[in-house]
Amino acid sequence: MGDLGGPGIIAERLAAVKAELPAGVTLVAVSKTQPPEAIREAYAAGQRHFGENYAQEWRQKADALSDLAGLTWHFIGGLQTNKVKYLAPRAAWIHTLDRDELARELGKRYAAAGVTARVLVEVNLGGEAQKSGCAPDRVDGLVALARDLPGLEVAGLMCIPPPGDDPRPHFIRLRALRDRLGLRELSMGMSADWRIAVEEGATLIRIGTALFGERPSRD
């Protein structure tokens, strides 16, 4: 298990980040590999949006935390089509839509549950340096397809700049693409670069280690 930093530390870190956030920016606390108790501590401090990366791990935590009213789950991890069944309908936001087949499966599962998922198209702005995400020249087609599917609301775009790159040009490009498509949300910025993302117009920032400390390993 990781060191949670002692009682109160998560609340302090949350307050410090929130104090710097302009109105209209939602902080998604990335709790992957963190135990349910860490999420409870953040929730007790007023945090309501949480992000998870691994479908089955998330499902277990969502069950363990089902008593926490108003908690909103964001799925931010790479998503295999056969894992969508674990997410629908309780993950309200999906940040990693990157292909047509996944859009169809998400639409099918959420529509069957009578729920609309807010989806963000993950854009691969890093080219060869990056494996996940939809190529920029395919974003229009994917957005158009997803917009026509029941069960999905296309809310915006998401990116993860390749490690080692200056993130700012990536954030600027994502914002321009979002504006051209007439979408609202921009999910960008992590522990190391969220201030830059906010300067460039992020509406959702995804922060893990800067809130919860180093992650416990997954094995």
Ligand X SMILES: *Cc1c(COP(=O)(O)O)cnc(C)c1O
Residues binding ligand X (CB under 6 A): 30, 32, 53, 76, 160, 190-192, 206-210
Backbone angles phi, psi at 51, to 5 degrees: -115, 140
Q: Region of 53 please: left (phi>0), alpha (psi -120 to 50) or beta.
A: alpha
28/146 with CB nearer ligand X: 28
Provide, rounded to whole angstroms, the least separation between the CB of residue 90 and ligand X.
19
Residue with the shortest CB distance to ligand X:
208
Provide, rounded to whole angstroms, the least separation between the CB of residue 114 and ligand X.
28
Contact predicate 183/200, CB 8 Å: no
Provide, rounded to whole angstroms, the least separation between the CB of residue 30 and ligand X.
4
DSSP state of 134: B
Amino acid at 31: S
Provide, rounded to whole angstroms, the least separation between the CB of residue 59 and ligand X.
17
32/118 with CB nearer ligand X: 32
β-strands 117-122, 91-97 pairing? parallel
149/175 with CB nearer ligand X: 175
Provide, rounded to whole angstroms, the least separation between the CB of residue 173 and ligand X.
17
Provide, rounded to whole angstroms, the least separation between the CB of residue 29 and ligand X.
9
Rounded alpha-carbon distances, angstroms, from residue 132 to 98, 129, 166, 174: 8, 10, 18, 15
The C-alpha atoms of residue 99 and residue 108 are separated, in whole angstroms, by 15
Contact predicate 129/108, CB 8 Å: no
Coil, strand or helix at 196: helix
Q: Region of 201 please: left (phi>0), alpha (psi -120 to 50) or beta.
A: left
42/149 with CB nearer ligand X: 42
Coil, strand or helix at 219: coil
Provide, rounded to whole angstroms, the least separation between the CB of residue 115 and ligand X.
23
25/149 with CB nearer ligand X: 25
76/88 with CB nearer ligand X: 76
76/146 with CB nearer ligand X: 76
